[in-house]
Structure 1
Amino acid sequence: MEYIYQLPLGMSSKDVSEKQHVLEDGLNIKNKTFQWKISDILSLKFDRTIVKQLKDIGEKPTKERKQIEIDFDGMLLIRVYNHGLLEQYTWDESYVKSDSWSVPIGHTRSRLIRHDFDKYKHLIIAGATGYGKSAILKMIITNLVLQQPKNTNLHLIDLKGGSAFQRFKDLSQTKSFTREPKEAKDILKTIQEQMKNTYSEIVDKGYEDIKESGKKERHFIIIDEAADIADDAAAMEVITDVARRGRGAGYYIIYATQYPSSQSIPQQTKRNIPARLCFVLDDATASQTALGQTGAESLPMIPGRGIYKNVKTQVVQTPFITNEEIKIQIAPFIRRNKEVTSIEKPKENRSNSFELEEM
């Protein structure tokens, strides 16, 4: 059912959106009326226990909750759904969009939302442990590798110990990998120098950005648990610089944390990364920090259920890919018997030099 309202002067659609959980709770107040299904009636046995059977059906708790979706196109639209989103959408190869930089973010009730890095650039991901943050990062990496195997360059910084990104360490697309905050700073500085050189090359040739230049390669700096380097001013300065200038050079940041705060997500970084994906958080303050609005604290405790904010805010259920499926999909891109890794370090008067570092 869709309800359409004209907003009175002085009220914004945001005022209503922030009360979405109140409206949903009001729609789901239990009442004493019987809500039988045909299957309930067909299951009845007409014997001496019929009264008890009817009572049990009437008292049977329902798992279905009505949910609402709020939109604004000049009029306030409130859509009431009798059924919620599915609790899981299993990833398959239909989510892969060849030669594209867009990755699946999540399903709404009507469509699949994708995040196009060439259009929206960077992405902030926040959420409590166990509710989908690491899972979506693994899915994004897998999709990028499958969609653009020759042009994807990954810089993986896993400050939770390396458990999530370890499986991607030996990918031919992985150019740098670390689990240590100190090494993370060095990697970020190297990336910054590469970005500066790429940006200068693009601008010097008269192009506005990487897309106009026709260059195919893109670099993805993926940081899981960014809070662990939040107190390193030099590292955060690089992240802010890449978030500000990387968009033109094809250097995109995916910045993830389970502890969203003004320290772990600095204001300058937030201003340069308007796209956000937020899973359930413990309070409204954390939601306000990560999303710029409340709402994440009221999400149901369902892994993968999140709020994607990019121009408009939408509740989504992210697709889930198993570790076994990831292993199968990335197997063709694993480097065997890897002994060394090269980290390009531009130096003065040595523009084509690089160092080999033993692993």
Structure 2
Amino acid sequence: GMSQDGLIYHDFDQIPHMTVAGATTQGKTQFMKMFVTHLIENNPEDVEFYILDLKGKLAFNKYRNLKQVKAVVGNYRDSAKTLKQVKKSIQKDMDYLLSIEAENAKEGNIRTRKFIIVDEAGELQTNKYMSDTNKESIKQCHQVLSHIARVAGQLRYSLIFGTQYPTKEILDSQIKANS
């Protein structure tokens, strides 16, 4: 992208994950939508997206039928199910790399980068008014998101974590350290 100072570039091979933070209506979602569109237009065969649009999936619902978009979900339960699928995919890729004795996606010639986008991660906080089912789904989401941040970067999985205010309650230490 461009800023007033010039080109802004993020190398996902160097830093596989990204935190996008800022006040409401300041462009986080718009940035993420442009990001998805840019990657699909420029790498149509080499990207996949799993989108947790925790504002009711209103922003990303239009993307749901694109072949590169594997899921667009908007609630806790569906988010937990989608992240469970991502975790299985990570394990499958690890098993493949192990079978060919490759250390990472680059050595194993895995070209496809898989992006897990969380728009409004602040919604993944529990409160006393939530059902136990929603609390359990949120816990499962946090576990998998942390797993992605810790171990999946070298497998070409990239977490794009969007939130208004990245406090320790929202942005756990594993995600913070790796993005």
CA contact (8 A) 2:15 2:178 kept: no
Deviation at 1:131, TM superposition (A): 0.9
Distance 1:230 1:206 in 2: 40
Instruction: Say if 2:57 is the partner of 1:151.
Output: no
Give 1 or 2: higher helix fraction. Answer: 2
CA contact (8 A) 1:118 1:211 kept: no
Deviation at 1:139, TM superposition (A): 0.8
Deviation at 1:230, TM superposition (A): 3.5
Write the deviation string for residues 44-99 of structure 1: whole angstroms up to 9, x where unpaired. xxxxxxxxxxxxxxxxxxxxxxxxxxxxxxxxxxxxxxxxxxxxxxxxxxxxxxxx
CA contact (8 A) 2:22 2:165 kept: yes
Give 1 or 2: higher strand fraction. Answer: 1
Distance 1:200 1:152 in 2: 20
Q: Which residue of 2 aligns with 1:107?
A: 3
Distance 1:184 1:208 in 2: 29
Q: CA RMSD in A?
A: 1.3
Write the deviation string for residues 219-259 of structure 1: whole angstroms up to 9, x where unpaired. 11001011112332221011000111111211110000113
Q: Find the partner of 1:245 among 141, 151, 171.
A: 151
Give the share of equivalent positions with the same residue, in percent: 30
Q: Give the structure-2-normalised TM-score.
A: 0.88
- 3-state SS of 1:116 partner: coil
Write the deviation string for residues 272-294 of structure 1: whole angstroms up to 9, x where unpaired. 22xxxxxxxxxxxxxxxxxxxxx
Deviation at 1:216, TM superposition (A): 1.4
User: Which residues in structure 2 correspond to 1:28-43 (within 5 Å)?
Assistant: none
Query: Larger RCO: Structure 1 or Structure 2 (Cα < 8 Å, ≥ 6 residues apart)?
Result: 2
The structure whose Rg is larger is: 1
Q: Give the structure-1-normalised TM-score.
A: 0.45
Write the deviation string for residues 118-153 of structure 1: whole angstroms up to 9, x where unpaired. 232110111111111111101100111011101111
User: Which residues in structure 2 correspond to 1:266-345 (within 5 Å)?
Assistant: 266-273=172-179
Deviation at 1:108, TM superposition (A): 4.2
Alignment gaps of 5+ in structure 2 = 127-137
- 3-state SS of 1:177 partner: strand
Q: Which residue of 1 aligns with 2:165?
A: 259
- Corresponding residue pairs, total: 168
Q: Find the partner of 2:102 among 207, 212, 215.
A: 207
Deviation at 1:204, TM superposition (A): 2.9
User: Which residues in structure 2 correspond to 1:35-114 (within 5 Å)?
Assistant: 104=1, 106-109=2-5, 111-114=6-9
Q: Which residue of 1 aligns with 2:131?
A: none
Q: Which amino acid aligns with 1:216?
A: R
Q: Find the partner of 2:115 among 220, 224, 240.
A: 220
